[in-house]
Structure 1
């Protein structure tokens, strides 16, 4: 397997003033170097089939050796981490958003969340593939495809979608390359690929994690977050990356939550908790798995409250889409203006022209979202009114009202349907799924935890709470995870026909 080696982050940062004072420990037998070698070997073994990784950092082993030599401690010390390729990392790695137009976007900048991971002793292993432009280019797109990375495949069945847009991050954790990857979400881009790949995904409250030096879609809804094997690992990451950033005003309150995430898990329990079951967000093939999860929650002492409808008067469904279109054009133009001169596409209009002139970019799907976004203006009064209405409907009049009216600790529902077949003719064929849009529109925390298999494909259980309730939501998911027990690991079947619950039924009776 040949991966483009494009990253050379500063090793000195691990040992100098840019890092917080580390805990000094005796290096473990499976220290940073061994973990990094194991991760690279797993990528070498499986990624020709999965195509989750865009770029391997050629200095990863040097980073790991520096961490071992410095005896840096803490839960993230020596942990290899993969970054979705819309997140900047210092060094010669271009941040591409999956687009050939950004193939030379070498900014030399660490996103604040990446700098914080380095300070915690994590090894930045490389970049993962994504749905191009975080799945905000075409209304008829394929999750997991980008011009740079090609198609990412689901490790459970390689003909199935990894969902998106954090496709490579979810697939890489599921495939066992790393225990931790970072994704980004505007509306479902962490939680959907986490659920369909059978891993944990956490979308924090908007403002908990800095968005600086991340290719934007929506200033209202964008956030980065962890995709991990277990919930406690997501808490480790959040304690590292949460925090205020003067360049991102939404994060003004975030410093108050640093250090609370792992602490919240120590006494995690479902006893006495009241969970609202969003009945209007169930079905789509997940009923049996969801029934099992609900029974486990009740057995652990939780009270389940059935909620048939959201209750607030439904908004025009186009409002949210118009918000994203408008904020995308404005935010992307600002981002492109900050890129180095080697990036020739300086505006969204330039990107539209670039794609039209490059057959590979339009080989799988069009750029209809780009074309609609280019027609928007950030000073449109309808946009300003729409942001306020959407936030209020999903947040105070939606999640918050349901929590208060029923005296709930959180809302629960199946995250989404099992992974659909990859279809490069018709695009993604969605089979329904959950109420994650409420948390996305409101900017509230949303955690998905694997809850079982449907005919051999994983599905997730979602926990949603109010703004800034992130530690408590992780604690609920951690408590549930202890009840659920271990699930099988993906076997890289070439087709869903090979999945054990299905395969025997496909043969004739003889």
Structure 2
């Protein structure tokens, strides 16, 4: 059920927030084997909170003299249950990032985005599972697995291919154990699990939502974002989370008619296997239908685009540039992770393990080998991060400057080709280079479901992981920095077109 339907039911009195909490708790218990959740708040506390919100809503609705005005006073999330990822600090709940070392760790404060949710009247049901430490432990760490939550199961395929790192947040929405959830992304951690579990997810423009109170990987590149069943749902939640006054929930504000969409795929010559061809066929079929919305697709303008016009870029293609920047990107993430983890844990009220920084986390994991992923038993990324000097490292500032300058320069260059937004998709296990540059530049990115992989033998073995039968794939829209509202409007109109097909 969509947020608008839930809200309409609350306003009309067809149900109460108490009813919703009871229903979602029952479903969480029924589907707990999917490992979507790490922590669920105490039932009696949730019911008490819901009852108080029901009473508050009834009081507002009782002002019959100006009933329309009183309804407007009730926020779009008032009395609506929401789930947040377990690297987001939430008062009265542990925040573990899935790690044994942070079991029962409590911040005793809310992240700024949680404050916004609560101020809007949302009910925080609990904390979702994730790839432990947001997938920044080891290069071979399993997506969707954490010590505290186990292996998240894909909410639409029933397989272990839930992607990450916001695996549980996506699963919770896909299963219907909450209408919307909050994930976080550094590089793909909202978009990937949303795609593979058949839901809508948005990574907002960098800086649109506060990172304060979130266990970080990168204080520069991390962002929180909503995940839901529809574009309208994520737009409503983003309106609450954001530091902007924009009415993102007004999805008629911008028309896709008259826009130009850059189609960004790998070279067609690189797409030779049946699995990739299946996705590309569906993707290109949708692109061909854009004319019905008055949108003009511009083909092969990105991944093969020669950058010879940019004297400052010493690379022939987008792919070559993204590959060259990746080394800097991941190195500066390691530097920021070292400092950021120590900074956030220093603010925690209680950490029973006494882990307060990266060095003590590594030592704890060595002393408790069962804490590490059983398939790897390694923590190479943690060790490499700890071996830096953090943001004081001599390589840090030059790496950050290169990544920010070149990614922004190229993204701006692409959009200066009179494009309004970009369209792409993930092919197999590989993301298109334009996605990486968009992440580095801080562009907004949204995914909407396109379909699910069929039960065909070749799909079971492709890359040994990604294209499992029933796993979802999606359409990705990338916008200019700050164009979140436009991107949501375009996505809504494409979503409507898909539903009509």
* TM-score, normalisation: structure 1: 0.81
The separation in 2 between residues aligned to 1:338 and 1:76, in whole angstroms, is 29
**Cross-structure match for 1:153:** 153
User: Per-residue displacement from partner, 1:73-127 (whole Å, max 9, x unpaired)?
Assistant: 2321222100000001111x11000001111311210111111111111111101
* Aligned equivalents of 1:387, 1:301: Cα separation in 2: 39
Structure 1 contact 413–434 (Cα < 8 Å) conserved = no
- Preserved contact between residue 270 and residue 300 of structure 1 (Cα < 8 Å): yes
Q: 402, 407, 413: which one pairs with 2:414? A: 402
Shift of 1:398: 2.0
Task: Report the CA distance between 1:341 and its aligned residue.
Answer: 4.6
Other-structure match for 1:457 = 471
Question: Residues of 2 paired with 1:398 and 1:36: CA distance?
Answer: 47
Q: Deviations over 1:271-328 (max 9, x none)?
A: 1111111122885351122022212322211101121425352234311110111111
Give the match for residue 364 of structure 1. 375
Which residue in 1 is equivalent to 2:266?
Answer: 280
1:416 CA drift (Å):
5.3
Does the CA-based 8 Å contact 1:195-1:416 persist in structure 2?
no
Q: 1:46 to 1:416 in 2, by over 3 A?
A: farther
Asked if the contact 1:414/1:434 (under 8 Å) is kept, the reply is no
Q: What's the CA shift for 1:334?
A: 1.4
The runs of at least 4 consecutive aligned structure 1 residues that moved more than 4 Å come to 431-434
Q: Which residue of 1 aligns with 2:387?
A: 375
Q: Structure 2: how far apart are the matches of 1:431 and 1:327?
A: 25
Residues of 1 paired with 2:436 and 2:15: CA distance? 40
Contact in 2 for aligned 1:274/1:408 (Cα 8 Å): yes
Q: Tell me if the contact between 1:276 and 1:305 (Cα under 8 Å) persists in the aligned partners.
A: yes
User: Deviation string for 1:355-402 (max 9, x for gaps)?
Assistant: 11112212233110001001112222321011111112222x222110
Is 1:269 aligned to 2:283, yes or no?
A: no
Match of 1:493 in 2: none
Does the C-alpha gap of structure 1 residues 317 and 26 become closer, same or farther in structure 2, counting only changes over 3 Å? Answer: closer
Within 5 Å, give how 1:46-195 maps onto structure 2.
46-48=31-33, 50-58=34-42, 59-71=45-57, 73-91=74-92, 93-195=93-195
Task: Summarize deviations over 1:62-82 as a string: whole Å, max 9, x none.
Answer: 222111110072321222100
1:415–1:449 distance in 2 versus 1, CA, 3 Å: farther
SS in 2 for 1:183: strand
Deviations 1:209-242 (A, max 9, x none): 1111100110110110001110111111111111
Change (3 A) 1:376 1:176: same
* Deviation at residue 262 of structure 1 after TM alignment: 1.4
Match of 1:34? 19
Judge conservation of contact 1:281–1:434 (CA < 8 Å) in 2. no
Match of 1:350 in 2: 360
* Deviating more after overlay: 331-340 vs 207-216: 331-340
Q: Are residue 293 (structure 1) and residue 292 (structure 2) matched?
A: no
When the two chains are superposed, the root-mean-square deviation of aligned CA atoms in Å is 2.0
Paired residues in the alignment total 434
Matches for 1:169-248 after TM superposition, within 5 Å: 169-243=169-243
User: Larger helix proportion, structure 1 or 2?
Assistant: 2
Partners of 1:57 and 1:465 in 2: CA distance? 37
Change (3 A) 1:394 1:281: farther
Q: How far apart, CA to CA, are the structure 2 residues paired with 1:370 and 1:486?
A: 48
